[in-house]
Structure 1
Amino acid sequence: MTTPRTERLVLPGVLTEAEAAQTVAGIRAEQRADGAIPWFRGHHLDPWDHTEAAMALDAAGEHGAAARAYDWLRTHQRVDGSWYAAYDDGDADRPTDRGAETNFTAYVAVGVWHHYLATGDESFLDRMWPVVRAAIAFVLELQQPGGQIGWKREPDGTPVTDALLTGSSSIHQALRCALAIAAERDEPQPDWELATGALAHAIRHHPERFLDKSRYSMDWYYPVLAGAVTGAAAKARIAERWDDFVVPGLGVRCVSPNPWVTGGESCELALALWAAGESDRALDVLKSITHLRADGGMYWTGYVFDDDAIWPRERTTWTAGSLLLAVAALGGDEPTCTVFAPDRLPTGLPPDCCGVR
């Protein structure tokens, strides 16, 4: 049995301890008995958001609940190492999207490393290491000669070689966590190092290798959040489109110029700002979305400010989870800081080692 550590999730102007406990309880209430964490009961589950919510539970000290979430991934991993893109309320017998997305599959490595750092549970790492290896193998089968990662396989197995900047950035973070796990187990993975270096090079220097999704705020901040763009380059990237996406006092637009701010994107931007060394601005962003807090401690997905309307009328586990993780990082929670800090994970080999230009 684990004891919640909601006192670690107190952030003045964002969360009190009572509010943090209520939010954690809200996520727990949506978790199924088999460990699956859907967006909310009656909606679907996807592996990425399931993992994000599990990480938030670990940040709150709910390690038993988080472990059950990872066991769900372990027992529902497909033979090829992937998961379906979506399941009907976490029911593996009823996938609602039979495609397999690479960033959804890779993210298990981030969650597994985060859980191990939070618990020190070596038996957990033993159980999950084969899961991580199979997931990374699936993902790297879709890496292109330029380093970018094709974003999915169709239900019939056909690879989609087009790459998404946000998805590939998330995979970059996942590969670095996978390398950390491999190092912990003293099982070097030089092919993963090469792949990580090639991917980082593509993200930093070759935007033309990715589909143009520049209207989406995630493509703006995710290379920073995922540790691919760092230092002065990270600050410059954030500054370049700040006015396009940030609505003072309300949060971050999901898509520019739509008058819709979303909690998930706002919390992720806060994490990116923290990773770039701008904690004060991160705090301001988190304060700006307190208006999205709903009864029961969960958070509305978004708000259309031209119409003064909550939309959609959903209180998603991943929105609440992203808020708790951002608060945990700003509060100095060591496992959360380690998986999101740009300098605390292994880096890949430089591109000249792998023939990438």
Structure 2
Amino acid sequence: MTRVPDVPGIITTEQVVRTAESIAAVQDDQGGVPWPEGHIDAWNHIECLMALTVAGLREEARKGYDWLVRHQRPDGSWPMKVRDGEPAEAAGESNHAAYIAVGVWHDLLVTGDEDFARSMWPVVARALDFVVGLQTARGEILWQRDAEGRPADYALLTGCSSIHQGLRCGALLAERLGDPQPDWELAADQLGHVIAGHPEAFADKSRFSMDWYYPVLGGAVRGDAAARRFDGEWDTFVVPGLGARCVSDQPWVTGAESCELVLALDAAGLRERALAVFADMQHLRHEDGSYWTGWQFVNQRHFPNERSGYTAAAVVLAADALARATPGSGIFRDAGGREARITGECGCERARA
């Protein structure tokens, strides 16, 4: 049986289980895990399923994957938002679609259930084909198709960084199941190069901390470049004793961003920093095991006044990464580490060479 994580001095196994149970408590009858506002999006839903899997709540996780099967559209995407079983926002986001590969690969690593992975393979394949269909010649992936099928005219750095991990996980899953997908591997190579070396390819969202750490979290930036990236904006986004800001210009730390930063630091080999941030954000823990979404540290109030399933999920995944507890604990560490094959379309010196 897979060990449920604990991080000594910070969070116990029992506390991790209670946090996962707080996710299951908000899961609806159809298997969806909603935001506090009531809508469901595929990316945060999948993150919650991964946390349920880590904590051994397999039945609840599988119910959530059934929800994804039912709501996937023929083009491989999911509605941006689903409410009461119906699309509330019909556009399909590329990073939402890509994350199914991370979830299914994670489930296979943790549970070893190849039959389940095979049953989900058509869902993953459709989703990643949708994603690759939004890649530009240079390599970035446009952030959505609207309800009429028209692609967006720009890409997002955070979304593309998550997609990079999705394509890597999809390629690994394809190899395991005997259906290699070299087009996904090439798409990931080109995307990773653009993320690491071409900031001009993305809309400017630099006030968001996710644009700071996600290139590391998704595996496109590693080694010395990752360390320099963290050092460059550390004082901008990290509040000692509290965690990570959501945006640079507001006195607001958030649990999900803090724990994703923990995962990124761990992936970059910066374990002591990761442990410190994870310890700092525990002030957001509620007595029932759930986590407040954020804390406004000037007003000294929780903001928004809610406890979110996706925040709890990020806590569980961060605990697993730090504890090395399950066979899926390295899914963020393992997202990088390969030399990218690139074309000359980006126009840079390396590509010309």
Shorter chain as denominator, the TM-score bin is over 0.9
Does the residue aligned with 1:303 lie in a helix, a strand or coil?
Answer: strand
Q: CA deviation at 1:65?
A: 1.5
Q: CA deviation at 1:349?
A: 4.9
TM-score (norm 1): 0.93
Tell me how far apart the structure 1 counterparts of residues 346 and 200 of structure 2 sit (CA, whole Å): 15
Structure 1: which 5+ runs fail to align? none
Tell me how far apart the structure 2 counterparts of residues 274 and 300 of structure 1 sit (CA, whole Å): 23
Q: CA deviation at 1:348?
A: 7.4
Tell me how far apart the structure 2 counterparts of residues 239 and 338 of structure 1 sit (CA, whole Å): 23
- Partner of residue 31 from structure 1, selected from 27, 30, 33: 27
Distance 1:305 1:349, change over 3 A: closer
- Partner of residue 302 from structure 1, selected from 294, 300, 304: 294
User: Counterpart in 1 of 2:69?
Assistant: 74
Q: CA deviation at 1:72?
A: 1.1
TM-score (norm 2): 0.94
Tell me how far apart the structure 1 counterparts of residues 200 and 296 of structure 2 sit (CA, whole Å): 32
Tell whether 2:1 aligns with 1:9.
no
Map residues 328-343 of structure 1 onto 2, 5 A cutoff. Answer: 328-342=320-334
Tell me how far apart the structure 1 counterparts of residues 56 and 338 of structure 2 sit (CA, whole Å): 28
Q: Structure 1 segments of 4 or more deviating over 4 A?
A: 345-349
User: Counterpart in 1 of 2:16?
Assistant: 20
CA contact (8 A) 2:95 2:143 kept: yes
Tell me how far apart the structure 2 counterparts of residues 188 and 44 of structure 1 sit (CA, whole Å): 35
Distance 1:100 1:268, change over 3 A: same
Does the residue aligned with 2:286 lie in a helix, a strand or coil?
Answer: coil
User: Counterpart in 2 of 1:284?
Assistant: 276
User: Counterpart in 2 of 1:133?
Assistant: 125
CA contact (8 A) 1:230 1:342 kept: no
Matched pairs, number: 347
Mean CA deviation greater in 187-196 or 243-252: 187-196
- Partner of residue 56 from structure 1, selected from 39, 51, 56: 51
Map residues 152-171 of structure 1 onto 2, 5 A cutoff. Answer: 152-171=144-163
Tell whether 2:223 aligns with 1:228.
no
CA contact (8 A) 1:176 1:348 kept: no
Tell me how far apart the structure 1 counterparts of residues 337 and 94 of structure 2 sit (CA, whole Å): 20
Map residues 1-357 of structure 1 onto 2, 5 A cutoff. Answer: 8-40=4-36, 43-88=38-83, 91-92=84-85, 94-342=86-334, 347=338, 349-352=340-343, 355-357=345-347
Tell me how far apart the structure 2 counterparts of residues 287 and 171 of structure 1 sit (CA, whole Å): 28
Does the residue aligned with 1:261 lie in a helix, a strand or coil?
Answer: strand
Tell me how far apart the structure 2 counterparts of residues 162 and 83 of structure 1 sit (CA, whole Å): 19
Does the residue aligned with 1:335 lie in a helix, a strand or coil?
Answer: coil
Tell me how far apart the structure 2 counterparts of residues 303 and 164 of structure 1 sit (CA, whole Å): 26
Identity of aligned residues (%): 48
CA contact (8 A) 2:219 2:337 kept: no
* Deviation readout 1:297-317 (Å, 9 max, x if unpaired): 100111110110111011110
Tell me how far apart the structure 2 counterparts of residues 86 and 175 of structure 1 sit (CA, whole Å): 22
